Structure 1
Amino acid sequence: MNAAARKIQTIYLTLTLGNTLAASFIWGINTLFLLDAGLNNLEAFAANAFFTAGMVLFEVPTGVVADSWGRRTSFLLGTVTLAVATYLYYFLWQVSASFWWWAAVSVLLGLGFTFFSGAVEAWLVDALHFSGYDGGLETVLGRGQMVSGVAMLAGSVAGGVIAQATNLGVPFLLRVAVLVAMFVVAFLLMHDVGFTPERSAHPLQATRAVLRASVDGGLRNPPVRFMMLAAPFTEGVGFYVFYALQPYLLQLFGDPRAYAIAGLAAAIVAGADIVGGWLAPQVRKRVRRRTTVLLASTLTSSVVLVVLLATSTFWLALVLLALWAVVASVGTPVRQAYLNDMIASKQRATVLSFASLMGSSGGVVVQPLLGRAADVYGYPASLALGGAVQLLAAPFILLSRGRRSPADAATGVAAAP
C-alpha cells in the first residue's frame, strides 16, 4: 500500500471508529430503553421498524446527495441529523411519550444513518482507486470492520455499564457528544478525492440523471440486482437478532436489570466483527469465488439460529450467538467488495444506498413480525423463525453467482466500470 492509499485508509478508519463508537453507546440497551419507556415488545420492534422505514424512504435521496453534492457533505449532514434525533429520543423517554412520537423520531434517526450508508464506502473506494491502491477491497473493508468492532465493543459495554450505574438515558447523551466531535473531525480531514460531485444549475435534472444511471447500474445489472434481492432476508433478520439479543440474554440470565449483560449482547457482535474482519481476506485467499463465501455464511448462520430453539442455558446460548455473529460478519466485507467491483464510480453512493434500502426494507417487515412471534411464542422460537427466513436469501445469491460476473473472482480494486 502506497503512502496516499495509507492516508485514505487512516481517514476511513478514523471516521469508522468515531461513528461506530457514537452509535454503539445505545446498541446494548436500545430495546431495554424502549421497554422502559412503556412500550411492549410489538411496539418496541415496530419503533425499530419505523427506523428502518426511514432508511428505506431516504436511502436513495441521500445517496443522490452524496453523488451530486459530495460524500463529505453527506457525512456532515448525517452527524447533525443523527445528533438531533438522538437527543429527541432521550426527551421522549423522559416524558414517557406515546408510541407514535417514537415512530416519528425513529424515522428521523433512519434519515441520519442514510447520509452515511453509501457515502463513506463510496468515498473510500473512489479515493483508493485514485491513489493507485491495487490490493483487494476485502483487506481495507475488513480492517474497517475490525475497527468498527473495537469501537462497538468499547461503546456497547460502556453504554451498558454506564446505564446500570446511572440510568438508561445517559448513553444517549454520550452519543450526541461524540457525534458533535465527529462533525469537527470530518470537516477537517474528509475531502472528496478521485470523485467530482455532479453539481448542476438544474438540481432536479441532475438528480434524475443520477437516479436513471443508478437504476441502470443497479437493478438492471443482474448480478447486482440479485444481491439486492437477497438483502431483505439477511439484513432484516440481522436487525431483529441484534436487538432481540438484549432481552433474550437477560431472560436467560435471570436478572431483568442486569444492563451490563445487555451490553454484552452488543459486545458479542462487536467481537465477531473484529474476528470476521480479520478472517474475510484470509478466507478470500483460499476461496476463489466471493459468492461461495456468501452462500456458506448465509446457510451456516441460519442453521445456528434454528439450533437456538433447543437451548435454555445462558452460556451455551452465548457461544451459539457468538458463532452466528462471526459467521455472518465474515460475509460482510466480501459482499461489500463484490458489489463495489460491479458499480460505476459516478453512481456508486446512490447504488450502494439503494442496496442498503433493500436490506432496510426487509427490516421494516421482518422486525415487527418476529417481535410479535417473540410475544406469542418466546424469543428462542422467534430466532429460529428468523433463521428460516434468512435461508430465503440463498437462491438469490445463487442467481447472482450464475451470471458469472468478473467481480465474483476479483482479487484487487477493479477499475471504475
Structure 2
Amino acid sequence: MTAPASEGGGRAARRVQGTYYTLMLGNTLAASFIWGINTLFLLDAGLTNLEAFAANAFFSLGMFVFEIPTGVVADTLGRRASYLLGTITLAVTTALYWLLWVWQSPFWAWAVVSVLLGLGFTFFSGAVDAWLVDALQATGYRGSLETVFGRAVIVGNVAMLGGSVLGGVVAQLTNLGVPFLIRAGILVVMFVVAAILMHDLGFTPERGAGPLAATRNVFRASVRYGLGNRPVRWLMLTTPFTMGVGIYAFYALQPYLLELWGDEDAYSVAGLAAALLSGAGIIGGFLAPHVRRRFRRRTSVILLAAISSALGLVALAVTANFWVAVAMIAVWGIASSIDDPVHRAYLNDMIPSKQRATVLSFDSLLGSAGGAAIQPVLGRAADLGGYGFSLLWSGVLQAFAVPFVLLSRAERDPADTRRDVAGDGDGDGAGRAGDEPAADSAVPPAAT
C-alpha cells in the first residue's frame, strides 16, 4: 500500500515538501496577480488581439531560446542558484512590462521584454522539479509522486485563486498596472525565502566544463534521454499542443467572458476566468491520486484527460450562455489538473536522476515551441471570427495530443503501471518500485 506523503521519509522529507509547496505558493501568487487581466492590460496598452497574443508568443519564444542555456546553469551552478536567478529576472522584467504600459510603447518593445520574461521562467523549468525529486530521494521519501504533485497542484491553485481574484479587484479599484507592481514585489520576497530555505540535496553540480561544452552536453543528454527514449518522446510530443493551447485559452477566456457577460469594463469578471480555473485545479489536484488508483495504467488517465479537455473547449466555443461557459471552463480545468500530476509522475519515472532537469527543461522547450507557434495563429483566428471561433480551433488542436499518448502507451514502459516513487531510472524507464523519481512546475500555465 502506498505510504502517505507525510509518512514517506520522516522529518527531512516533509521539510523538503514544505519548502517546495512554499515556493509553489509564492511563485503562483506572484504570477496570478496579472493572469486575470493580462490580455486586457495588453489591449489597454494599444495592442491588437494579434499583437497581444504575439507578445505572449514571444514569451514562449524566449523560453524556447533560453531553455537549454539555463538548463546548463541548473546543472553547473545548482538548482537553487537557477531558482534565485529566475526570481530576480522575473521581478525586473515585470517592472519593465509596467513601464511599457505607462509609456504606451510600440510592439517591438513588448516583444523584446516578453522574450526576457521567457528567460526568467526558464530558470525555473526543470530545475524546481528536479530539485524536489532529488531532495526527496536523498531524504528517503517512499510515497507516491502523484500525491506530492497533486498537493502541489492544490497549493498552486489556492494561490492562483487568491491572486487572480485580488488582481482583478485591485485593477478595478486602481488601474491595470498596479497588479504588475505587486507581482514584482512578491518575487523579491520569494528570492529571500528561497535563499533561506532552498538547498541542493541529492545533487552535486558538475562544474569544470566551459559554457559551450556544457550546453552541448546538455543538448545531447536531452536528445538521448528525451527524444531518444521512445515512450518519453511520444509523451513529450503532446506538450506543444497542450501547452500552446492552454496558454492561449487561459488568456482568451478573459475577454471572452466579458463578451458573454456584456460589460467590457468588468475587470473582476475577467479575473473570474482565472479564479474558476484555480478552483477547478484544486478539485483536480485532490482527485488526481484517487483517479490514478482507478486505472492500472497512467496513460489511461492522461488519455481521458486529453479527450475531456478537447471536448470541454469545443463546448465552451459554441455556447452563448455565460453560466454554461463557466461550467465548461470548470470541466476543462478539472481535466487538465487531473492530468498534470499523473503526466509529470509518468515522465519523471522514465528519466535518470542526472538527466532529470535536462529532460524536463527539454520538455518545457517543446511546450514553448508550441506556444510560440499556436498563440499567434489562434489570436489571428480571434481577430477574424471572434473568441468562440478561436476556442473551437483550440479544442481541435488539443485533440492532436491524443495519438501521441496512444503511441507512448503502446511502448508498455514499466513507468506506465508504477505506483510508488521509483528509484534512479536507467534511461529506459526501468526502476525499482519503492525507490525514487521526480517533479513542475512551478512554471504556471500562463506565460507572462
In structure 2, the gaps of 5 or more residues are: 1-6, 426-448
Q: Deviations over 1:68-112 (max 9, x none)?
A: 211000000000100010000000000000011001000000110
Q: Is the 8 A contact 1:198 1:206 kept in 2?
A: no
Of residues 260, 267, 291, the one that matches 2:268 is: 260
CA distance in 1, matches of 2:58, 2:295: 38
Q: Is the 8 A contact 1:64 1:211 kept in 2?
A: no
Q: Is the 8 A contact 2:221 2:358 kept in 1?
A: no
CA distance in 2, matches of 1:203, 1:7: 33
Match of 1:118 in 2: 126
The amino acid across from 1:89 in the alignment is Y
Of residues 223, 227, 236, the one that matches 1:228 is: 236
Match of 1:128 in 2: 136
Of residues 93, 98, 107, the one that matches 1:85 is: 93
CA distance in 2, matches of 1:112, 1:134: 33
CA distance in 2, matches of 1:96, 1:146: 37
Of residues 55, 68, 71, the one that matches 1:63 is: 71
Q: Deviations over 1:101-143 (max 9, x none)?
A: 0010000001101111111100011111111111110100111
Of residues 284, 297, 303, the one that matches 2:292 is: 284
Match of 1:32 in 2: 40
The amino acid across from 2:168 in the alignment is G
Q: Deviations over 1:201-256 (max 9, x none)?
A: 54433333333223211110111111111111111111110000000001111111
The amino acid across from 2:36 in the alignment is G
Match of 2:437 in 1: none
Q: Is the 8 A contact 2:98 2:181 kept in 1?
A: yes
Q: Does 1:168 align with 2:176?
A: yes
Match of 2:157 in 1: 149
CA distance in 2, matches of 1:339, 1:309: 31
Of residues 201, 219, 228, the one that matches 2:227 is: 219
In structure 1, the gaps of 5 or more residues are: none
Q: Deviations over 1:351-376 (max 9, x none)?
A: 10100111111111111111111111
Q: What pairs with 1:211-360 in structure 2 (closer than 5 Å)?
A: 211-360=219-368
Q: Is the 8 A contact 1:68 1:207 kept in 2?
A: no
User: How high is the TM-score relative to the length of structure 1?
Assistant: 0.98
Match of 2:107 in 1: 99
CA distance in 1, matches of 2:214, 2:68: 14
3-state SS, counterpart of residue 26 of structure 1: helix
Q: Is the 8 A contact 1:134 1:412 kept in 2?
A: yes
The amino acid across from 1:27 in the alignment is W
Q: Does 1:386 align with 2:394?
A: yes
The amino acid across from 1:120 in the alignment is V
**By how many angstroms is 1:310 displaced?**
2.6
Q: Is the 8 A contact 2:72 2:214 kept in 1?
A: no
Identity of aligned residues (%): 65
Q: What pairs with 1:7-46 in structure 2 (closer than 5 Å)?
A: 7-46=15-54
Deviates more, 1:58-67 or 1:231-240: 58-67
Cα 1:84–1:284 shift into 2, 3 Å: same
Equivalent pairs counted in the alignment come to 417
CA distance in 2, matches of 1:67, 1:270: 32
Of residues 213, 216, 223, the one that matches 1:205 is: 213
Q: Deviations over 1:42-79 (max 9, x none)?
A: 01000010011111111121122112211000000000
Q: Is the 8 A contact 1:135 1:413 kept in 2?
A: yes
CA distance in 2, matches of 1:305, 1:185: 38
Q: Is the 8 A contact 2:68 2:215 kept in 1?
A: no
CA distance in 2, matches of 1:369, 1:309: 16
Match of 2:4 in 1: none
Match of 1:361 in 2: 369
CA distance in 2, matches of 1:78, 1:347: 20
Q: Is the 8 A contact 2:71 2:218 kept in 1?
A: no
Q: Deviations over 1:281-339 (max 9, x none)?
A: 11111111111111100011101111223311111111111111111111011111111
CA distance in 1, matches of 2:214, 2:22: 32
Cα 1:201–1:397 shift into 2, 3 Å: closer
3-state SS, counterpart of residue 35 of structure 2: coil
Q: Which runs of 4+ in 1 moved over 4 A?
A: none
Match of 1:159 in 2: 167
3-state SS, counterpart of residue 356 of structure 1: helix
